[in-house]
């Protein structure tokens, strides 16, 4: 039996981390959108070269002129700000999706561990790219993060780059914070994935109860089908589980196919009008064999009558109290 955990061991802690993720992911999206299309990356690169902190952007031209290949450091490349922009959009979409799913208790710990683990790795790579080194210029090597991270922004060579320096510094800070939050969410999800023996036993009992209910329903359905196929159960007979079909007034012997025709008006027995009892030997509703005679199929025209106005609800009614109903003759066909 494979047990997949579906509940967080610390549900509120996971929800609070998701809510804390919002104020971090939104600045990431804004700052990466501003940095896209090389808004300030090349300017900060040139500003560091003017201060002697790193290489200069014009080294690309010198390398191409001398027939040498030049690989732009990733901290100054277009790959970095495009990667950051895609990551900001992706993390915003995941945040808007997973919060309502988590509230509905469908964001299970294994799924959470996979999603948050992937985001943690992606943000860790983004932070590593932003803090990359630049050793392409032997005269001005940069070992470690760029100058806008390790130094205050007031050391900028051009005062117009101070605002860009602050934006790049803020982007690196929120990237590190986002990495920490996703790492905490991954750890919390992994803790919920390792279930205890008590949780496994409770899950096994729930599955056993569900299986017992399904087996009981299958047994009841099979018993019902067997009763329907039994010879003593005919079409049209009402069935109650646990009760055997009994003979009725309309179907003697429990067989609805018996050749009997109901005859009403049994309060007066024309075959035994002078018997000891007003009913003779018949009950108020009598089943008589069906014949081809018209008299047996039309009892009311043979003298039988209903008690239209009974004087009481007693068990005996005299013949004198039975009134003969009036049946008008059928209309005659008009002669031309």
The whole-number pLDDT of residue 8 equals: 82
pLDDT of residue 336: 52
Please give the mean pLDDT across all residues of the chain. Answer: 77
Strand partners, 59: none
| Separation CA 108–CA 14 (nearest Å) | 11
* pLDDT the model gives residue 327: 59
> Does 13 score more than 60 pLDDT?
yes
Q: Looking at residue 87, what is its pLDDT?
A: 96
Residue 262 lies in a domain: no
Domain with 28, as residue range(s), is 11-196
Beta strands in the chain (DSSP E): 260-263, 286-289
Q: What is the pLDDT of residue 215?
A: 87
Find the mean pLDDT for residues 179-208. 84
320 falls within a domain: no
Query: CB-hemisphere CA count at 13 Å for 170?
Result: 17
Q: Would 150 be classed as within a structural domain? A: yes
Helices (H) and strands (E) in the chain, counts: 9, 2
* 168 vs 326: which has the higher pLDDT: 168
**Residue 261, pLDDT above cutoff 50:** no
**Ranked by mean pLDDT, which of 84-98, 181-195, 217-231 comes out on top?**
84-98
Residue 91 lies in a domain: yes
pLDDT band at 159 (very low <50, low <70, confident <90, very high): very high
Does residue 3 lie in a domain region? no
pLDDT at 325: 60
Q: What does the alpha-carbon distance between residue 191 and residue 189 come to, in Å, rounded to a whole number? A: 5
Top pLDDT among 161 and 286 is at: 161
Q: What's the whole-model pTM score? A: 0.61
| Number of separate domains in the chain | 1
For residue 263, give Cα distances in angstroms to 97, 196, 258, 267, 313: 74, 75, 15, 11, 22
Hey, CA dihedral for 26, 33, 183, 174, is it positive or negative? Answer: negative
pLDDT in tens, 88-98: 999 999 999 99
What integer is the mean pLDDT of 34-62?
92
Candidate from 21-30, 160-169, 308-317 with smallest mean pLDDT? 308-317
What pLDDT is stored for residue 286 in this prediction?
46
Residue 301 lies in a domain: no
Q: Write down the pLDDT at residue 204.
A: 76
For residue 136, pLDDT over 80 is answered with yes
181 pLDDT tier (thresholds 50, 70, 90): very high
**Is the CB of residue 91 less than 8 Å from the CB of residue 73?**
no
Q: Which residue did the predictor score with more confidence, 321 or 42?
A: 42
- The reply to whether 52 falls in a domain is yes
Asked if residue 318 has pLDDT above 80, the reply is: no
Domain contains 256: no
Residue range 311-318: mean pLDDT, rounded: 48
pLDDT at 227 over 50: yes
């Amino acid at each position: 039996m494979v047990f997949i955990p579906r509940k967080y061991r610390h549900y509120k802690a996971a929800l609070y981390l998701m809510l804390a993720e919002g104020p971090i992911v939104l600045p990431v999206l804004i700052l990466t959108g501003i940095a896209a299309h090389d808004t300030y990356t090349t300017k900060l690169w040139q500003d560091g070269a003017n201060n002697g902190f790193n290489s200069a952007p014009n080294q690309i031209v010198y390398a191409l002129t001398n027939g040498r290949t030049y690989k732009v450091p990733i901290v100054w490349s277009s790959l970095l700000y495009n990667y950051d922009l895609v990551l900001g959009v992706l993390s915003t979409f995941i945040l808007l999706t997973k919060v309502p799913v988590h509230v509905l208790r469908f964001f299970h710990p294994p799924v959470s561990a996979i999603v948050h683990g992937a985001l943690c790795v992606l943000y860790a790579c983004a932070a590593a790219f932003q803090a990359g080194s630049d050793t392409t210029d032997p005269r001005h090597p940069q070992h470690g993060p760029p100058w806008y991270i390790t130094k205050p922004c007031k050391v900028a060579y051009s005062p117009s780059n101070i605002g860009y320096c602050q934006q790049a510094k803020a982007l690196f800070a929120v990237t590190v914070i986002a990495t920490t939050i996703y790492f905490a969410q991954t750890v919390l999800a992994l803790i919920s994935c390792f279930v205890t023996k008590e949780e496994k036993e409770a899950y096994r009992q729930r599955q056993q109860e569900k299986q017992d209910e399904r087996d009981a329903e299958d047994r009841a359905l099979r018993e019902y089908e067997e009763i329907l196929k039994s010879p003593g159960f005919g079409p049209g007979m009402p069935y109650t589980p646990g009760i055997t079909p009994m003979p009725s007034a309309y179907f003697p012997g429990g067989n609805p196919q018996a050749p009997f025709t109901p005859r009403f008006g049994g309060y007066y027995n024309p075959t035994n009008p002078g018997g000891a009892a007003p009913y003779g030997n018949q009950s108020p509703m009598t089943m008589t064999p069906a014949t081809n005679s018209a008299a047996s199929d039309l009892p009311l025209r043979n003298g039988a009558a209903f008690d239209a106005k009974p004087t009481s609800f007693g068990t005996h009614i005299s013949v004198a109290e039975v009134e003969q109903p009036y049946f008008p003759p059928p209309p005659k066909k008009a002669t031309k």
